[in-house]
Amino acid sequence: MGLIKEGQLIRGTYEVERLIGEGAFAEVYRVKHRFLGRQAMKVFKMAGMTIEETEQMLGEAIMLSQIGHPNIIRVYDANTIETSKGTCGFFTMEYVAGGSLEQFWRSHGSQLVPVETSVEIIRQVCRGLVIAHGESPPIIHRDIKPQNILAGYDADGLRVRISDFGLAKRVNPLTLLASARGTRCFKAPETFRDFRSDSCAGDVWALGATLYLLLTDRFPFSESDAIDVIVGQCFERPLIPPSCLNIRVNPLLDQILFQALALKPEDRYPSAKEFLADLNGWKPFTAGSSAISKNTISSEMSKSALGIHTPVDEAKARKMADKALKLSLQIGKLAEAADLMEEAFNKSPGLRKQYEYQLKLWRRGIAM
C-alpha cells in the first residue's frame, strides 16, 4: 500500500495521478498541479517529520534549483502531508517523462548505449555538478547513480538532470549502501574506510562508474558480494579497459575513465570541472575506422548489472506510441503526447529510433 492514493487531492492543489517509482527512503508520484500542470512529488517514508525537518533535508536541493541550471532538477515546493504512515515530508519537482537514467539504459535492451550518447550524458551531469562543486563550501552529492539522474527530451534533444542533492548525508551510511542493488558500486573506495570521506573526487568516481556502466553494461569493479566491496577486496582486481568490452571506445576514453576511477582520490580528477574538461576534449573514432564497422554493438550482460528487469512488452509500447500520435493531433494535447511517447521509448528501443525526431518537434510545440 502506498503512502498516498491515486486520485487523492493534496493540500487542495495537487491531484495524485499514479506512483512512478519507489526507493528505500521515499515514493515518487506523478501529480497534477491545479495551475501548473504535471510535476513529480517525492514523499519520504520517514513518519513524524516536521516542516522544519523537511526544509533542512531539502536545503541544498532548493538552493541549487534556484540557480536554474538546466542539468539540475528544479524543486518547486516542500511541505508535510498526512499519509497512511503518519505525517511525512514531501517535495515537488520537475516531472521528467523519460524517467531515470537507469530506465534509459535498460531501454536499449541487448544493445549498448551509443558511446557518443553515453559521453554526452555524463558531460551534462558534470555541468550540473560543476555548479555544486563550485559552491563555497562545495556541495557534494554523495549518491550519484543512474537512479538519481533523470533523462528526458526537450526542444534541443536529450537532456539529463541530477536529482536528490543533499539527501544522502541525512541517512545512515550503512543503510544507504544497502538501499538498492548497485549503490555501493558507485561509492568511491575511500568511503568504505571512512564514511566521512565523501568529497568532490568521490562524486567523480560515481560519475566514472556510471559512464563505465553505460559503455559496457558492467560495473568497473565486479560486485561479487557486499562484503567484498565493503572491505575493499574487489578493488584489488585490475580494472578492465572499457575498450576491451566495447569496440567503439577509443584509447583516449579509456584514459579518461582510468583517471576518473583511480583508487586514490589524489590521483583522480579533483572535481567535476576537470573531468568535464577532458570529456569535452574527447573525440569519437572517425567514421572510416574499421573498428566501428558495426552499426550496433550487442551486450553480453543484457542490462543485468542493476538486477533483473521485466521483459519489454512490445505490444504495449506500440499502443502507447499510437495513442501519443493521436493525442498530438488534438488541440492542447501536444505536451501530454510527448510525455506518453517518452514513456513508450523506455519500453521499446525501436520506438526511440523511429520517433525521436518527431518528439523533439513536439517539445518545440510543433505538431506534425
Catalytic residues: 143
Question: Rounded distance, CA 266 to CA 201, Å?
Answer: 8
How many beta carbons lie within 10 A of that of residue 155, not counting itself? 12
Helix-, strand-, coil-residue percentages of the chain, each rounded to 5: 40, 15, 40
Considering only CA atoms, which of 172, 106, 118 is closest in space to residue 143? 172
Question: Rounded distance, CA 219 to CA 171, Å?
Answer: 24
β-pairing, 157-162 vs 149-154, is: antiparallel
Counting every residue written for the chain, the total comes to: 368
Q: Which amino acid does the sequence have at 242?
A: P
In the β-sheet with 86-93, what is the strand arrangement from edge to edge?
9-10, 14-22, 26-33, 37-47, 86-93, 75-83
Question: Rounded distance, CA 15 to CA 264, Å?
Answer: 48
Considering only CA atoms, which of 157, 153, 115, 171 is closest in space to residue 292? 115
Backbone φ and ψ for 338, nearest 5 degrees, come out as -65, -40
Question: Rounded distance, CA 309 to CA 105, Å?
Answer: 12
| Contact indicator for 71, 163 with CB cutoff of 8 Å | no
Instruction: Tell me which H or E stretch contains 321.
Output: helix 314-327
DSSP-based three-state secondary structure for 323: helix
